[in-house]
Structure 1
Amino acid sequence: MRDQEPGPGHPERRLTTKEAAELLGVKPETVYAYVSRGRLGSRRVPGGRGSTFDAQEVEALARRNRREGSGSPGSGGEQAVRTRLTLIREDRYYYRGVDATELATRHSYEEVAEWLWTGRMRHGAAFVAPRAAVEAARHAAGALPGHAGPTDRLRVAAIAAAVADPLRFDLSTDTVLGAARGLLPTLVAALPPKTSTHRDGGSLAQQLWGRLSRQPAAEAPLHVLDTALALLADHDLAVSTLAVRAAAGARAHPYAAVTAGLGVIEGPLHGAASGLAHRLVLDVLDRGSAGPVIAEELRAGRRIPGLGHRLYAQEDPRARVLFALLSEIPEAAPALAAARDIVDTTARHTPLHANVDLALAVLTASCGMEPSAGETVFAVARTAGWIAHALEEYGERPLRMRPSGVYVGPEPPRPVPE
C-alpha cells in the first residue's frame, strides 16, 4: 500500500530509491515498477521530487524475491527460475542429479522422459498415441501447403491433438502425464513417412526414423537417434523452454505450452542451427576440404554453425557422446571426418569446440536425411523437457514470470494525434 504513515510506537526507517534498489539488487526503474504493481509502498519526500521506502517492507520484498528466484542481488532484476530438472556444471549436465550422458546411453528416450517427468525410472516405458488424436493431427497437418516444414506440421499437430483431448484443461499431474505420453507419438505420426513401406509401431525412435530417412533402420544408427533424443530432452532454461514456462505460468494447457516452445524453436540460433550445420557438412564433402568452405562463410559474414556453446568451455558433452557412437558406424565416417575438419580449420587460432548441432548434422547427413531432420529431432526430443517444465510451473504461483518494462519513450502527457 502506498503512502502509509507510521503508526504510534512503530518508528520507521526509510530508504532512498538508490538504497532500496541496492538492497533488492535491481535498477531504480524496477523499484518504481514494484510500486506501480502494488508490491512496494512509497512516500514522497516533503518538498522534494524523490520517494522513500519503508526499510522493513523492502527487506521483506527482497526475501520474498530470493525465495521466488527473482530479483536476487547482482542479477540486475533478471528472472531466475527454480528447477529440479537439469543442472549444467563444469562442462557436464545432469537430469535430476544423474549424469545426463550416462542416462541417455543406458536408457531409451521414453525412459529418460519418464525420469524427467516423475523422478522415477519406468523400465520399458512405451508411449501410445490415441487414435482420435492421430487422425486429427494427420488431417490438420495434411492440409498444409506442400512446402510446409516439419516444425510447421508439429505445431499444427499439437493444436489438433489438443482439440481432440477433452481433458486438456485438467492440469492435475496424472492427467498432464497422460496427455504427454499420447502427444509425443502423435506428433511423430503427423509427419509424412519417407517410404510407402513404413509401418507405425515400435519405440519413438523407430517411428521417427521412417519419417526422416528412406534408409532401413539399422540397429546402430537407430541407437544413435534414440540417444540423441534422450540427450536433447532438456537443457535448462533454453529460450523455447522459457516460453513454455511462461505459457504454463498463465495456466495454458500442456498442448498450448508445447506449441509455445515449437513457435520459438524455429530460430536459426536455436532448433534450426543443426540444419545450417548439415548444409555445411555437405559443402565440405562436396569440396573435399573445409578450408574454402569456411573462407566463403566468413567472407559472407556468416557465423560458422555447429561450433561453440555459451554454457560449455570445452566440447559440448552431447556432441562428444554422439560422435563416439557415430564413429562406430562405417557409413558415417566421411561426414564425421568433414565435421572434424570444420572444427580443426575454424579453431586454428580461436579455441572453438563442436556442439550438438554439428553432431546432429553428421547423423542426418550420413543417414540420407534432409537438412531439416535435425530440427525435427530437436523439437520432438525437447517436447519431453517442455512437459517437465510445464509440470513444475503448474506448481508455482501463477503469472510469476511478469518482468517489468523500463519505459524509454516520450514523456506524457502528449496531445492526441490529429
Structure 2
Amino acid sequence: MREHEPAPGHAERRLSTKEAAELLGVKPETVYAYVSRGRLSSRRAPGGRGSTLDAKEVEALARRNRRESAGSPGSGGELSVRTRLTFIDGHRYYFRGVDATELAARHSYEEVAEWLWTGRMRPGTTFTAPASSVEAARRAVDALPEHSGPIDRLRVAAVAAAIADPLRFDLTEEAVLGTARILIPTLVAALPPQRADHRDEGSLAQRLWGRLSGHPAGKVQLRVLDAALALLVDHDLAASTLAVRVAASARAHAYAAVSAGLGVIEGPLHGAASGLAHRLLEEVLDLGDAAPVIAQELRAGRRIPGLGHRLYPGEDPRARALFALLEEIPEAAPALAAARDIVATTARRAPLHANVDLALAVLTASFGMEPSAGETIFAVARTAGWIAHALEEYGERPLRMRPSGHYVGPKPPQRLPDRAT
C-alpha cells in the first residue's frame, strides 16, 4: 500500500484546493502555504491534475484557526467561559445579577460569599474553622522562614488544611461549600497577629484586621475592611480565577484549586499590584507632592500602579465604593488626598482613573499596615470567588479547559541531535 493511500473499504473524503480554501475562508495561495509549512498534507489527484487534501485534516485546521482568531489581540474575541456568577457592564459589576457595590454596602463579606455560592442570602452567617484545621495550618506556617510573605503563608496554610481533611476529594456541592466555610477562616487564622492581645473572635474582617494592623479598629474601620473583602469576592475571569477553573476542570479538589489561584495572584500585574500602589502612595505622602514621584516612575519606564483598568472606561466601581467609605475616617484623609494628587497629576499625561489597588493602598497606608496587606486582603476575599468558580467547573465536562497548541518549531522529522562529546 502506498503512503497516504486509504485502506480498502475506508473511503477517504478529499477536497480540492478551491474547496479547502472556501472551508478555511482563505485564498488558494494560503492553502498552498499551509501545505508547504506542514500544516496540511496534499496528494496528487488521479490523472496528475492538481492536488487534493484530506477533508478531516482541513476541518481540524479550520477549527484551530477559529480558536486562535477568537483569542488573538485585536480580534474582538477572547476565551469565553459560561458563568452565572459575575457580570461586568461598563461602569458597574454584578454578582448573580445584583449590583455588587450595593451588596457590599448592605451585607457582610460572609453573606456576599454565600450569595455568590448559592444564590441565597444567609443573614448573620459567620465562618469558623475547627481547631484541627487551624492547628495544622499554623504549624506549617510557623515552620516557614521569617522573610516569608503573606501569600507564601496562605499557600502553605491551604496545603496543610487539605492534608488535615481526609474528605477533601469529595467534590459534591455540599462538601465543597463545607470546605469553603472552613478554609477561609483557616487561612486568616494561620497569619501571625500584629498585637499580642489579639483574639480570634467576631466577623472575619475583625479577625483579619488584627493580622494586618497593630492599630485598634472601631466599627467604621472594620466596615471598610469588610466592604473591601465583599467587593473583591469575584471579578469574572481574572488570571487567578482562570487557573482555578483549569484545576477544577481536571477535578482537583477545592483546596488544590484555591492553591492554583494563590500561585497566580502573587504576580505584580494581579494581586500584588496593591503593594506597588501602597509604596507609591507612601512616597507621595513623604514628599507632599505627587509630581516628582510620578516623574520618577515615568523616567524609569514604569507604569503608574493603582490607575486604569481594562474593563472599566472610568473609575473602578470598587475603588469608588471604598473611597466613599474611607472619606468617613479622619485618619484616612492624608492618604486620600495623596491618591487624588496621583490621579490628577497623571491625568495631565493620560486620562487614567483610580482602580481598586489604589483604594486598597489608601486603606493599608492609613492604618500602618505593610505594603503586602492589600495583597492579603485580595487573596482572602477572592478565595470565596475561586470556590464559586470551582463549583461551576465541577458541573462541566472534565478536562474541557484544554486549548490546542500552535506548533511553530522546526518542521519534523528532524535529524537526531549529535551525542554530546
* 1:10-409 to 2 correspondences below 5 Å: 16-22=19-25, 46=45, 51-53=53-55, 71=67, 74-75=70-71, 79-409=79-409
SS of the counterpart of 2:129? coil
Alignment check: 8 A CA contact 1:85 1:236 kept: yes
| Residues 288-329 of structure 1: CA deviation (Å, up to 9, x unaligned) | 100111111111111110000000000000000000000110
Letter in 1 for 2:81: V
CA distance change for structure 1 residues 80 and 15 in 2, over 3 Å: closer, same or farther? Answer: farther
Name which of structure 1's ranges 216-225 and 309-318 shifts more when overlaid on structure 2: 216-225
RMSD of Structure 2 on Structure 1 (CA): 2.9
- 1:13 offset after TM fit, Å? 11
Offset of 1:19 from its aligned partner?
A: 3.6
SS in 1 for 2:93: strand
Cα 1:280–1:73, aligned 2, differ >3 Å: closer, same or farther? closer
Deviation at 1:415, TM superposition (A): 2.1
For 1:299, give the aligned amino acid: R
Gap change, CA 1:138 and 1:349, over 3 Å in 2: same
- Separation (CA, whole Å) in 1 of partners of 2:129 and 2:221: 24
Partner letter of residue 85 of structure 2? L
Helix, strand or coil at the partner of 1:349: coil
Q: Within 2, Cα distance between the matches of 1:121 and 1:58? A: 48
Q: CA deviation at 1:71?
A: 3.9
Residues 71, 78 of structure 1: 8 Å contact kept: no
- For 1:88, what is the secondary structure of its paired residue? strand
- Give the secondary structure class of the aligned counterpart of 2:402: coil
Residue 5 of structure 1 corresponds to which residue in structure 2? Answer: 11
Q: Following TM superposition, by how much is the alpha carbon of 1:371 offset from its aligned partner in structure 2, in angstroms?
A: 0.2
Alpha-carbon offset, residue 257 of structure 1: 0.3
Using a 3 Å threshold, how does the CA distance of structure 1 residues 134 and 349 change in structure 2: closer, same or farther? same
- CA distance, structure 2, for counterparts of residue 227 and residue 45 of structure 1: 68
| 1:20–1:53 contact (8 Å) kept in structure 2 | no
**Is the CA contact 1:137–1:161 (under 8 Å) kept in the aligned structure 2?**
yes
Unaligned runs of 5+ in 1: none
Is the CA contact 1:12–1:54 (under 8 Å) kept in the aligned structure 2?
Answer: no
CA contact (8 A) 1:15 1:54 kept: no
Q: Report the structure number with the largest CA radius of gyration.
A: 2
The structure-2 alpha-carbon separation of the partners of 1:144 and 1:52, relative to structure 1 and needing over 3 Å to count, comes to: same
**What SS does structure 2 have at the residue aligned with 1:87?**
strand
How far apart are 1:52 and its partner, in Å? 4.3
Describe the shift of the 1:136–1:351 C-alpha distance in structure 2 as closer, same or farther (beyond 3 A): same
Contact 1:138/1:157 (<8 A) preserved: yes
Structure 2: tracts of 5 or more residues without a match: none
Q: Matches of 2:43 and 2:94 in 1, distance apart?
A: 50
**What is the rounded CA distance, in whole Å, between the counterparts of 2:20 and 2:171 in structure 1?**
41
How far apart, CA to CA, are the structure 2 residues paired with 1:86 and 1:352?
A: 24
Conserved? CA contact 1:14–1:54, under 8 Å: no
TM-score, structure 2 as length reference: 0.87
Distance in structure 1 (CA, Å) of the matches to 2:21 and 2:222? 59
Determine the C-alpha separation between the residues in 2 that align with 1:230 and 1:182: 18
| Superposed displacement of residue 126, structure 1 | 1.0
> Structure 1 residues 290, 196: CA separation in 2 closer, same or farther (over 3 Å shift)?
same
2:416 corresponds to:
416
Assess, with a 3 A threshold, how the Cα gap between structure 1 residues 120 and 295 changes in structure 2: closer, same or farther. same
Cα gap change, 1:183/1:283 in structure 2, threshold over 3 Å: closer, same or farther? same
Instruction: Quote the Cα distance in structure 1 between the aligned partners of 2:51 and 2:210.
Output: 68
